[in-house]
Structure 1
Amino acid sequence: MQALRAEDPEELGGHRLLARLGAGGMGVVYLARTADGTPVALKVIRAEYAADPGFRARFRREVRLATGLGGRWVVAVTAADTEARAPWLATAFVPGPSLAEAVDGLGPLPPESVTVLGARLALALGELHAVDLVHRDVKPGNILLVPDGPRLIDFGIAKGAGATALTAPDAVVGTPGYLSPEQARTRGGEVGPASDLFSLGCVLAYAATGRRPFGTGDAPVVLYRTVHEPPDRTGLSQLPAPLRSVIDGCLAKEPALRPTAAEVRSALTHDDHRDEGPAPATDWLPPAVLRLVAERSARALDPPPRTAGPIVPESPNTLTAQGFSRRRLLTIGSSAAAVLAASGAGAAVLLTRGHPAAGGAGHDVPTHTLALHADLTGSQRTLGKAQQRGALFAVAAHNARNDVNYRLALSSYDDGGDAARAREIARRVLAAPSVSAVIGPSTTVGARAAAPLYAAASIPVVLVSVDDATAGLSTTSLRTLCVTRASDSSQTLSILSYLTRNRPTHRTAVVQDRAAGETAADINRNLVATPPSGGTVTTHQVAADTSDFGPAVAHALATHPQAVVFAGTSPRRAAACARALVAARFTGAVAGFEPVMRGDFLSAAGQAAEGWVFEAPYTEAQSAGTTAAKAFTAAYRARYGEAPGRWSAEAYDAVGLIGRALDGLGTTTAIEPAQVAEGLFRLSYDGVAKPIRFDQGTTHTMDPANTAFLYQARGGTFRFLGRYDQVRAVKTQ
């Protein structure tokens, strides 16, 4: 929502204008109030378009069709003037987000929500079809989500079964990816109600999985898949049988094989007839979507004051001392398409169909698709879903800006943590010509299998949580591999800083657990080569076939160390070391590394764990004290209702890094992924989590300085201390 400008009228057709909801190339949508105070969305068409007889005819038809519809799940036209120099129409104001905004920004809806969505949309389509109308553009952007149910909007291209389309003879009427095979084949010719059911199947599949059944990319490619290839059914097998059966039936290539709207409604409401009446506010939508509705409803009651001149857009990546500005916090994740959609039936017509506008820029802009490759259902799904949320949030934040020159889209791919599936996913991503970059894979197994395939195709692949060396990968040979986490080889930097700056240590003992192999040996070598405070380091090894750390600890303490570093990866073996240190009455500093930061260490060590300090390559944004982290956390909580998960902030930064590379390539749509990769390594990017800078030599590895974090075991948990270079004081035992 934006303030009215000096050139905007104060009143139109008895409606008082309050604010701008959005603007497109063909007009402006306002928030307005009727004489009795009822909020409406009022769409005004620019006079130059209204002068086109064909355009005015389409506008008259839209008003006529929408005015004649009385179903509960469609948005009604409340007033209009189709003959004015600048024609306009007013519709009921619907403050909810579009389905596209909700899924792109918050992830797929739960199956029970999709079931209700399908039943109520089927009811709406059934009412259309009963009066011999076919909507012809059923898509996520034309579906608004509010607490009592969805609303179907945009009847600008709906038409009767025998009517002549007001389009060019070879035009495709509808949105590629959601239109039916017969729409793609007939090029604007006659289609029947079954076409809307195919589109409904695409919508429900997208709502349930976050994936478009016929992929993304250039329109001709998507249209070809729609006509000739089976839909992508990834994730559908996990849905309840009635919902899965409805989606499969709707996606049949032949119209005669699809169910009718009444049959869909019956299949999805056989034991639930709530679509007939009001639903409670918490009945069908997830809490995060309900929060968006509440925020927009509140903003409608308090519109911004009129400005005296043009609005100055916010600068990109601006995070104020209070976090996001209030406007951005409440609208984060919105696109202009969603803002326009939220304003009612007529609003979405302002957009060029099949090419959504972005960020309130007021013109069509190119869309660049990012692929998230992660384990979303396997043993490391928590990590993968955290990265998915962070990336989705970053995409939504980019699209919410007023000054964007391109729109971002995110397609998520789940490899389940399996190497074979990771390779299959990589091949699918590479078959989608519109992907500009890949974020992930999120696991070592997935990265080892898929990263070489991406690099061979010159696709930039940004590893957020995987250490390339651990995965057996090389940024020297894989020229588009971009690793944005601190490597295991540099993990001693943060402990070295801690034992030099925070707990000045001149005598350090390393307890090297040989069960950890080369990892422990590397830690020991690094500390011996660069001792904390320029002092001395002694090494005390523990054989892999023993769990008795007492002798090694006794030898270590005989050197009178001020600090002990556990060089190992096993939480339980680290706990044995901790117990041995307490038994020997050691009171100095003790440090370890992230693989030990597990519940097993705390439970097995008990009180002996207290005070241990650990290095980790990820932040805890909600505990960080920086302005950027506070703003990120506040906005993340507002969107998801909980604190950011581990690696969420890093995934958010990965999108920002890629966006910065795209910024450097201008607004052209003809951007090759290899160009994006080249741009990545030339950047210096200060992210929410850490600064990201790369070596300009042949390795283009990330500069490890100031990129790792410290945690401390205290009170039965691991407490975040901060980025190692920003930690000022550490509580001792």
Structure 2
Amino acid sequence: MRPLTAQDPESVGGHRLLARIGTGGMGVVYLARSKGGALAALKVIRAEHAADPGFRARFRREAQAAARIDGRWTAPVTAADPEAAEPWIATAFVPGPTLAETVAEHGPLPPDTVRALGARLAEALAAVHAAGLVHRDIKPGNVLLAPDGPRLIDFGIARAGGATALTATDAVIGTPGYLSPEQARARDEEVGPPSDVFSLGCVLAYAASARPPFGGGVAPAVIFRTVHEDPGLGGITEDGLRTLVARCLAKDPAARPTVPELLAQLGDFGSDDWLPPGLHAVIAERSAQVLHLPEPERPAAPGAPVDEPPAPSRRRLLMLGGAAAVVLAGGGSTAAWLATGGKGPSSAAASRPRRTVAVQADLSGSGKELGTSVEHGVRLAAEQHNARADRRFDLALTVLDDGGDADRAAEVARRLVTDGRVCAVIGPTSDATALAAQDRYKKALLPMLTAWAGSDALYAAVDTENPTSSVFQLRPSDSASGAPLARYLTSLRPARRLVLVEDQAARDYSWLIAHGLAENPPSGRTVVRRQVTAATADFGPVAVAALAAHAQAVVYCGESPRRAAACARALQAAGFTGTPAATEAVLTPEFLRAAGTAAEGWVFSATFVDPARLTTAAGFVRSFTKRYGVRSVGRGAAEAYDALGLLAQVLAPLGTGPADRSTLTHRLRTASYRGITRTYAFRAATGEVEEEPGLFLWRVQHGTPLFLGQYQQAKV
């Protein structure tokens, strides 16, 4: 939960608002107290949606239908006003954590607990379906755990049975990873009670194994696996439960069990003692804390004077007690560095608060070149900040080397999470280390900002169900990588016949890139998809086929620089004279070395810049090359410089007290920062970074990658 903002009303429909539970594209959900003193979850719909007569009709119909639901394991509707300027609906508030939070923190639930969970959620579905509704968004985030049993919540996108969908054509409604194949295909007329059974199976698989059955990553890849591949149920240890879940996940709706069949097979779990003892105690304690929330103080309006924050608690003081100690070490140990240029503090500096930011990077492994560039970019930004006479706080850096190793990265994250001085982390700088560290940062609400790890895998950590997640992926998703190439092949060097090379050595990634280009091809173009198996490195047949098809462009959709180089050599040998292209995963020195002259003319989409070709970064380039005695700025340094600039901007209004991590996470999520590389901002509904400003084009010219600029503004 988050505090109310100055823009939030004090009350809605006679309900006193206490806090924000969450925000999304449709509106805001508040914790509220009714006139009678009962707590409620109150959802207010944004005015722009309410202005649509069709949407208001749907909301009115669904509010009436939801009020008819009579089930012990649902959160009943207590009040609603579909005719208000901003329509709202209130349901009974359940103070327990979500299933998603519980499994993320405590791991898989025991089989008996999963069966009890399934039985009670099946009862909830029976009540939903009896009211003529299909829930359509059953997921771990919509299941609350109370001491006496679970509650299925949020009927905000439920659809009355037989009603016409008031949504855009081909829109996918639901949450990828938990929606049914018929939802994934956007076949609204086919979505009925069996779709909810499929989603329930996904939820039970997650509860039993702590993994969604169709994996993580960006939405298109998850949807593809949902429609075309078998679920991964190896983490479910009990055979009978695994078999039942597998039946729920049948692709054919008719092959799934009905809700009554599920109830019969799951058995009767009428006892309130349904959770493991330790978890029961955690839920009860959390429930008690929420139920005793005080009335909120109204936040100050924007621009109003900010009072000093209250003095930190004794526990907080103990955590900060070691902040004055500075240890300088090398190698794999902590390297704490105060960004003051080695000078002693002045009397003015002594009155300023100190904010400590950590850098987690590979400084000694295979990725040390990138890691060192990131560290140098952050150091320069900190030095320049501390040189400003008008600064409101001093910055200190703690630099930790994880060596590019996942186990070391997890240990580094553990140490940073327990260091009360650290308010945010910049890094890690590789796929493996970011994925190994992100869970610890999320649980501690310690902001982690990275622009260097593989976004296809890491975007799952952003957690679109919880846009307040402290994982900040500053680079766009891999699913957006096709947009710069499409623009290049449409406007800069038009190609009417396009061949997509899907490399099965990286099947998911390759499908993601090819699917994006095939579904949204350059206007008026013919697109052909060709596959190369992982067992061969011979791209000759694909090159010959491209010439036979009179292709004017060939896009290598894989992520291997070595295999992309083999593709480049094959195209050169076949006499291909069109435009060859790929994504940023291939744009490496390894590709240039292995491809040789065949790399000439290759075009790449990427999420990083060459600051030497940006007028906004001219000062940075001069300072960087002088500070480190180099001729050019290494990859990653400019983005690291911007990452610290973003942090400094959101730290400035926090006053002189300790920088609370959860407050900083919220401020980052709602910030907009204009850096030297681009503007950084995050989507309120999903927590994902705004993509278009961060997508760029590169082209190999005379053996060297040449930065063309932001893809919508690039010129040949």
TM-score scaled to structure 1, two decimals?
0.50
Q: Matched residues in 2 for 1:607 and 1:551: separation?
A: 20
Partner of 2:602: 612
Q: Matched residues in 1 for 2:591 and 2:324: separation?
A: 53
Partner of 1:691: 679
Asked whether 1:401 is paired with 2:391, we answer: no
| Offset from partner CA, 1:393-425 (integer Å, 9 cap, x none) | 111111122221112111111111222222221
Contact 2:320 2:421 in 1 (8 A): no
Partner of 1:635: 623
Q: Which has the higher contact order (CA 8 A, sep 6+)?
A: 1
Q: How does 1:511-550 map to 2 (within 5 A)?
A: 511-550=501-540
**SS of the residue 1:469 aligns to:** helix
Contact 1:505 1:533 in 2 (8 A): no
Partner of 2:670: 682
| Offset from partner CA, 1:645-668 (integer Å, 9 cap, x none) | 1100001111111112113x3423
The alpha-carbon deviation at position 225 of structure 1 amounts to 9.3
The alpha-carbon deviation at position 218 of structure 1 amounts to 8.5
Partner of 1:579: 569
- In the alignment, residue 347 of structure 2 is paired with which amino acid? L
| Offset from partner CA, 1:496-519 (integer Å, 9 cap, x none) | 121122112232111222222111
Asked whether 1:235 is paired with 2:330, we answer: yes
- In the alignment, residue 667 of structure 1 is paired with which amino acid? G
Structure 1 residues 500-509 or 371-380, which shifts more?
Answer: 500-509
Asked whether 1:351 is paired with 2:347, we answer: yes
Asked whether 1:651 is paired with 2:640, we answer: yes
Partner of 1:485: 475
| Number of positions where the alignment pairs a residue of Structure 1 with one of Structure 2 | 394
Structure 1 residues 716-725 or 396-405, which shifts more?
Answer: 716-725
Q: Matched residues in 2 for 1:628 and 1:403: separation?
A: 22
* Structure 2 gap ranges (5+): 1-314
**SS of the residue 2:435 aligns to:** helix
Q: How does 1:447-458 map to 2 (within 5 A)?
A: 447-458=434-445
Which entry has the higher C-alpha Rg, 1 or 2?
1
The alpha-carbon deviation at position 221 of structure 1 amounts to 5.5
Partner of 1:410: 397
The alpha-carbon deviation at position 580 of structure 1 amounts to 2.4
The alpha-carbon deviation at position 334 of structure 1 amounts to 6.3
Partner of 1:75: none
Q: Matched residues in 2 for 1:534 and 1:633: separation?
A: 42
Asked whether 1:365 is paired with 2:352, we answer: yes
Kindly tell me: are residues 692 and 432 of structure 1, through their superposed partners in 2, closer, same or farther at Cα, counting changes over 3 Å?
same
Asked whether 1:702 is paired with 2:689, we answer: yes
Kindly tell me: are residues 367 and 593 of structure 1, through their superposed partners in 2, closer, same or farther at Cα, counting changes over 3 Å?
same
The alpha-carbon deviation at position 485 of structure 1 amounts to 1.3
Q: Matched residues in 1 for 2:597 and 2:550: separation?
A: 23
Q: How does 1:383-462 map to 2 (within 5 A)?
A: 383-462=370-449
Kindly tell me: are residues 667 and 609 of structure 1, through their superposed partners in 2, closer, same or farther at Cα, counting changes over 3 Å?
same
Contact 1:467 1:485 in 2 (8 A): no
Partner of 1:297: none
Partner of 2:494: 504
Q: Matched residues in 2 for 1:728 and 1:581: separation?
A: 25
**SS of the residue 1:385 aligns to:** helix
Structure 1 stretches of 4+ moved >3 Å: 217-227, 231-234, 236-239
Over the matched positions of the two proteins, sequence identity in percent amounts to 38
Q: How does 1:140-155 map to 2 (within 5 A)?
A: none
- In the alignment, residue 708 of structure 1 is paired with which amino acid? L
Q: Matched residues in 2 for 1:645 and 1:532: separation?
A: 33
Q: Matched residues in 1 for 2:530 and 2:332: separation?
A: 54
The alpha-carbon deviation at position 373 of structure 1 amounts to 1.2
Partner of 2:363: 376
**SS of the residue 1:532 aligns to:** coil
Kindly tell me: are residues 603 and 389 of structure 1, through their superposed partners in 2, closer, same or farther at Cα, counting changes over 3 Å?
closer
Partner of 2:68: none
- In the alignment, residue 693 of structure 2 is paired with which amino acid? N
| Offset from partner CA, 1:629-654 (integer Å, 9 cap, x none) | 21210111121121221100001111
- In the alignment, residue 672 of structure 2 is paired with which amino acid? S
TM-score scaled to structure 2, two decimals?
0.52
Kindly tell me: are residues 481 and 710 of structure 1, through their superposed partners in 2, closer, same or farther at Cα, counting changes over 3 Å?
same
Asked whether 1:598 is paired with 2:588, we answer: yes
The alpha-carbon deviation at position 694 of structure 1 amounts to 1.1
Kindly tell me: are residues 641 and 416 of structure 1, through their superposed partners in 2, closer, same or farther at Cα, counting changes over 3 Å?
same
* Structure 1 gap ranges (5+): 1-216, 240-332, 342-347, 358-363
Kindly tell me: are residues 533 and 402 of structure 1, through their superposed partners in 2, closer, same or farther at Cα, counting changes over 3 Å?
farther
| Offset from partner CA, 1:551-609 (integer Å, 9 cap, x none) | 22222233322211111222232222222222332211111122222334333333222
**SS of the residue 1:411 aligns to:** strand
- In the alignment, residue 647 of structure 1 is paired with which amino acid? G
**SS of the residue 2:512 aligns to:** helix
The alpha-carbon deviation at position 467 of structure 1 amounts to 2.8
Q: Matched residues in 2 for 1:221 and 1:633: separation?
A: 38
CA root-mean-square deviation: 2.8
| Offset from partner CA, 1:453-476 (integer Å, 9 cap, x none) | 011011111112113432474212
Q: Matched residues in 1 for 2:560 and 2:648: separation?
A: 38
Partner of 1:207: none
Q: Matched residues in 2 for 1:409 and 1:224: separation?
A: 14
Q: Matched residues in 2 for 1:404 and 1:226: separation?
A: 20
Kindly tell me: are residues 598 and 463 of structure 1, through their superposed partners in 2, closer, same or farther at Cα, counting changes over 3 Å?
closer
- In the alignment, residue 636 of structure 2 is paired with which amino acid? W
